[in-house]
Amino acid sequence: MEKRQASVLSPDNPVSPLGHAASTWDSTQSRVLDAADVLIQQRGIHGVTIAELARSSALSRPTIYRSWTDADDVVRAALLRRVVLVLEAFPDPATTRDALVDDVLRFSELFRADPVYSRLLDQEPEAFTRYMLQRVGSSQRLIHGWLTQAITAAQREGSVRAGDPQQIAVMLLLIAQSAVLSHGTVAELIDEESWERELRVALEGYLRP
């Protein structure tokens, strides 16, 4: 399932990163992912088992196995869907550096406020690292594709420096991921307003021609 989704979300795909979103999961799969969301929020990653998913979604285990190989596969799909939901707040890619930086900052805010991701960041940072940072999965590819489109448009407009937009998007993704992951750790050292201001400076400096 992860490989199938990753191919759909490849940045080489010319389709808008969100163009596939509505058709990625059918109603039965959405029931399973809804159950996974609740289990992660209530019990954490380790609380997500096929048996619990079947009970919570009122579906049989064979039905779940028709879409996913194991509980870990379901968790990855659930986390991908949460990213899709966050990115739906940005229906059109930014076309200028200022708009791009604004969008990255807003994405970071919405991501940290998401009930599933906030649970992982606050209580299971090691699980967040395993699912989001140890390898490039569908969630990162989706975010990367979104950033690449915006960078390409802003380069044409002239407010983002020259360079391979996909490579610039990789580093922009790394900067944002690092800031989000470490936000709670440095909360005693920097207040929210200053954190956002300094992240804006870092993003602006990286993108400026």
Q: Is 140 in the same domain as 160? A: yes
The alpha carbon of residue 9 and the mean position of all alpha carbons in its chain are separated, in whole angstroms, by 12
The answer as to whether 15 is a domain residue is no
Q: Which helix (H) or strand (E) holds 156?
A: helix 138-157
**Three-state secondary structure call for residue 26:** coil
Q: Which pLDDT score, from 0 to 100, does residue 18 have?
A: 53
Please report how many Cα atoms fall inside a 13 Å half-sphere around the Cα of residue 58, on the Cβ side. Answer: 1
Domain membership of residue 83 as a residue range: 24-88
Q: What is the pTM of this model?
A: 0.85
Q: Is 48 in the same domain as 118? A: no
- Alpha-helical (H) ranges within 44-92 are 50-57, 61-65, 71-87
Q: Is 54 in the same domain as 100? A: no
The span from the CA of 52 to the CA of 65, in Å, is 13
Mean pLDDT of 40-55: 97
Interval 87-99: pLDDT, tens: 999 998 899 999 9
Q: What is the 3-state secondary structure (H, E, C) of 84-137?
A: HHHHCCCCCCCCCHHHHHHHHHHHHHHHHHCHHHHHHHHHCHHHHHHHHCCCCC
**How many Å is the maximal CA-CA distance in the chain?**
55
Domain CATH number, residue 158: 1.10.357
The alpha carbon of residue 195 and the mean position of all alpha carbons in its chain are separated, in whole angstroms, by 20
Q: How many CB atoms lie within 10 A of CB 129?
A: 12
Q: Is 137 in the same domain as 177? A: yes
Q: Is 99 in the same domain as 77? A: no
Tell me the pLDDT band of 24, cut-offs 50, 70 and 90.
confident
Q: Are 36 and 48 contacting, i.e. CB atoms less than 8 angstroms apart?
A: yes
**Three-state secondary structure call for residue 145:** helix
Q: Is 107 in the same domain as 188? A: yes
Q: Is 82 in the same domain as 170? A: no
Q: Is 70 in the same domain as 154? A: no
Q: Is 127 in the same domain as 79? A: no
Domain CATH number, residue 40: 1.10.10.60
The 10 Å CB-count burial string (b at 16+, else e) for 7-24 is: ebbebeeeeebbeebeeb
Interval 105-151: pLDDT, tens: 999 999 999 999 999 999 998 998 888 877 788 899 999 999 999 99
Q: Which pLDDT score, from 0 to 100, does residue 204 have?
A: 97
Question: Where is the domain boundary, 71, 88, 105?
Answer: 88
Q: Which pLDDT score, from 0 to 100, does residue 17 have?
A: 53
Structure tokens at 79: 């986390």
Structure tokens at 141: 């590819």
Whole-number average pLDDT of the chain: 89
- The Cα-based distances of 21 to 8, 60, 81, 158 in angstroms read 10, 25, 8, 30
Structure tokens at 73: 């596969």
Tell me the pLDDT band of 184, cut-offs 50, 70 and 90.
confident
Question: Where is the domain boundary, 35, 65, 88?
Answer: 88
Domain count, the chain: 2
Q: Is 80 in the same domain as 95? A: no
The answer as to whether 12 is a domain residue is no
